[in-house]
Structure 1
């Protein structure tokens, strides 16, 4: 503490953002929000295990920050156990997890078959459950830690043609709330960021310039987020600046989530009140 006031000690706020000596696993580290988050955590002093299904992407990102690469399928229980075992072997213990993984399948409800429904829940939800079940118990035994997940605006709003993805993200949000409440008493804090539209490499490839113009027009701040802007919030949730947060979902969507989907209305002038 750097000073005192009449009410309480005044902390060194910048030091609360530091992660010096802490070991953090980043799931989905290879590109986009994951890559930016790896850099954000490393700049704050963290030691990072960079996990991606693509071994080359994991190694590229790890090499850039002096981290350790780990190729794994996060939807596999055996692979996820290996990820946490590797982190413990390399770092001694795990202080945090940031889970970026998620891919949106875009199709109307009638076109969603059994395989694509199951695939969406695997790629959006299963790895998060495995991470908490395996890593949460490990952190609990070691005295605490943090989880920061990436949810979605689609988990709280009806987004056209994203019923399977949106339902899985809604389940992820509630997993964060329920697990956050359960593990908070053990000093394991579980929270999530809920982005709106983000210019990730994958989404940039899938959407046309006209699509992006329409998206930017719909967002009150006038543009979609960058991956770095989401990474900043994941850094916050991994740091002691968020020490009193558990089971929370932070919306980072440029204001689009607060809008009501209603037609533009033209009201007639009000009648002059009678004295």
Structure 2
């Protein structure tokens, strides 16, 4: 918590600062991960930039003056190496932002055993490993913050995303449970739940007609940009959110607040028949 001035008002800008703190970004190479790596760096953090593709890890590390790390985050050995590398590079790890998650979009009837297992592996396993390895390390070193990227699909039913949405719902509950368990040890664990975001991966799969149709069901009128998800993640990483843990913050343009009913015009009330 920031020191108070004599009027009892904190220095709020200093509470946003991450100067000198070491952070790990899992999935730093593109999209939301790339933007949040820039956000953390601009706030003063030193960042270990983790991506499965070495070229992407190198590219973002050069851009922010960070440390590149190519790894498979579903591997326990690789996750241990990630946090050992970060501790060696920065002295200690103060925070983690985990972006990773790929949606398998298909009817539930078309999901086979391998696809179901793969969906949970890519959405949930790395989060479990990050908390169990990175959370323990941060707790031992004095605490820190962890922020994950969930999904609107983890809160609502989204067409043709049953496996993905179920795995994200599990991630949300992992965040809640682990957030409570680690709170007394100084580690805050939270998540954001975006709706549709114009990431490079989704831009390859959706045309402008699809994006326009999506925008029509979002109260703000359009899908999010990766930078608009990075901002709330920076907030959760900083001391501005010092009293928040175990929470999943909706960042969906209001989509999760809308009931999916048609917009109809109601006529005058009818007089009841005696």
TM-score, structure 1 length as denominator? 0.96
Aligned to 2:220: 221
Aligned to 1:234: 233
Superposition pairs for residues 251-266 of structure 1, below 5 Å? 251-266=250-265
Secondary structure at 2:44 match in 1 = coil
CA distance in 1, matches of 2:256, 2:6: 39
Aligned to 2:62: 63
Q: CA deviation at 1:4?
A: 3.8
Runs of 5+ in structure 1 lacking a partner?
Answer: none
Secondary structure at 1:263 match in 2 = coil
Secondary structure at 1:26 match in 2 = strand
Segments of 4+ moved more than 4 angstroms: none
**Are residues 1:120 and 2:119 paired?**
yes
Aligned to 1:176: 175
CA distance in 2, matches of 1:189, 1:125: 18
**Are residues 1:200 and 2:199 paired?**
yes
Give per-residue Cα distances to partners, 1:134-183, cap 9 Å, x unaligned: 01111111110010000000000000000110000000000000000000
Q: CA deviation at 1:100?
A: 0.1
Give per-residue Cα distances to partners, 1:22-59, cap 9 Å, x unaligned: 00000000000000000000000000000000000000
Give the alignment's Cα RMSD to 1 decimal. Answer: 1.2
Aligned to 1:211: 210
Q: CA deviation at 1:265?
A: 2.6
CA distance in 2, matches of 1:90, 1:271: 73
Number of corresponding residues:
270
**Are residues 1:145 and 2:183 paired?**
no
Q: CA deviation at 1:2?
A: 5.6
Aligned to 1:14: 13
Q: CA deviation at 1:270?
A: 3.2
Q: CA deviation at 1:266?
A: 2.6
CA distance in 2, matches of 1:222, 1:263: 17
Superposition pairs for residues 49-128 of structure 1, below 5 Å? 49-128=48-127
Q: CA deviation at 1:208?
A: 1.3
Q: CA deviation at 1:271?
A: 5.7
TM-score, structure 2 length as denominator? 0.96
CA distance in 2, matches of 1:49, 1:260: 41
Aligned to 1:3: 5
Aligned to 2:187: 188
CA distance in 1, matches of 2:150, 2:256: 13
